[in-house]
Amino acid sequence: MNVYGLIGYPLSHSFSKKYFTEKFEQENIAATKYELFEIRDISDFPKIIANNPNLRGLNVTIPYKEAVIKYLDDVAESAKKINAVNVIKIGKNGKMIGYNSDYYGFKNSLFRFLPENYKGIKALVLGSGGAAKAVKAVLEDLQIPYLVVSRKQDPSTITYEAVTEEHVKEYKLVINTTPIGMYPNVKDSPYLPYSSYTAEHFFYDLVYNPQETLFMMKGKARGAKTKSGLEMLHLQAEKAWEIWNS
């Protein structure tokens, strides 16, 4: 039995097990299962590996995309560039190699969301964690200037309270990379001056459960175009499967 799975905390919001279980059934992939490994601390990661000798691959989600790196034997160049891992390939010899499929998933999903003439658009990136690193790498490669908004200010970020109407006018693409608004906390949304947004804006939420977050609803109420992270989830999951079986 080949075992794949997801590590993170919490995992009550995750669709990954459902997605892969249905994939295995639909594609007649036998003797294979996908499990959720909810761990409260990354120090429990070695126990997951030791207790599951049939593990062939793992997805990594919040909050361990950066912290898991120190436990790996190697990291692919693409993940090194981002400094975040969301896919781990486990060889039969036990060697663990980290990859990043968030980049692939977000880039392809974003292409389908933005207009063809997206050149000149600027992005406001909400959050500074592992998912944000993949998002920033995509924006840099697409030559989309961005500003990061975080709870704590540093030389490269501003706080949510510091977002002004001028920022709203300048940054037409707003990307939520945080878990704010994720199930079960569906009544939460990032702190922004929503009343200033317009139909010229694009709200992209990496959260996929619920499929329409309060962040998206508030944007849509102002006429903004919105998209959830569900397509990104599917794209990065298929990329992960490709990595595990390469």
In order of 10, 45, 106, 192, 212, the CA distances from 37 in angstroms are: 10, 9, 24, 34, 26
DSSP 31-61: SEEEEEEE-SSGGGHHHHHHH-TTEEEEEE-
pLDDT in tens, the chain (246 residues): 999 999 999 999 999 999 999 999 999 999 999 999 999 999 999 999 999 999 999 999 999 999 999 999 999 998 999 999 999 999 989 999 999 999 999 999 999 999 999 999 999 999 999 999 999 999 999 999 999 999 988 888 999 999 999 999 999 999 999 999 999 999 999 999 999 999 999 999 999 999 999 999 999 999 999 999 999 999 999 999 999 999
- pLDDT at residue 67, as a whole number: 97
pLDDT in tens, 128-181: 999 999 999 999 999 999 999 999 888 889 999 999 999 999 999 999 999 999
Indicate the DSSP class of residue 120.
T
Q: 56 is written with which tokens? A: 């062939």
- pLDDT at residue 125, as a whole number: 98
**What span, in angstroms and rounded, lies between the C-alpha atoms of 93 and 117?**
48
CA neighbor of 74 nearest in space, from 102, 47, 99:
99
β-pairing verdict for 202-205 and 173-176:
parallel
- pLDDT at residue 152, as a whole number: 86
- pLDDT at residue 155, as a whole number: 86
Residue ranges matching CATH 3.40.50.10860 in the chain? 2-100
- pLDDT at residue 167, as a whole number: 98
Angle at 136 between CA 161 and CA 111, to 5 degrees: 110
In the annotation, is 89 catalytic? no
Catalytic residue, candidates 65, 89, 133, 239:
65
Angle at 206 between CA 159 and CA 177, to 5 degrees: 25
**What span, in angstroms and rounded, lies between the C-alpha atoms of 204 and 132?**
12
* Segments of the chain assigned E as strands: 2-8, 32-38, 55-60, 74-75, 87-90, 96-99, 123-126, 146-150, 157-159, 173-176, 202-205, 225-227
CATH of 2-100, one of 3.40.50.10860, 3.40.710.10, 3.40.228.10, 3.40.50.300: 3.40.50.10860
**What span, in angstroms and rounded, lies between the C-alpha atoms of 146 and 4?**
35
Q: Does domain 103-231 have CATH number 3.40.50.2000?
A: no
CA neighbours within 13 Å on the CB side: how many for 162? 13
Residue ranges matching CATH 3.40.50.720 in the chain? 103-231
Phi, psi of 157 (to 5 degrees): -135, 165
- pLDDT at residue 176, as a whole number: 98
- pLDDT at residue 153, as a whole number: 83
- What distance, in Å, lies between the first and last C-alpha atoms of the chain? 18
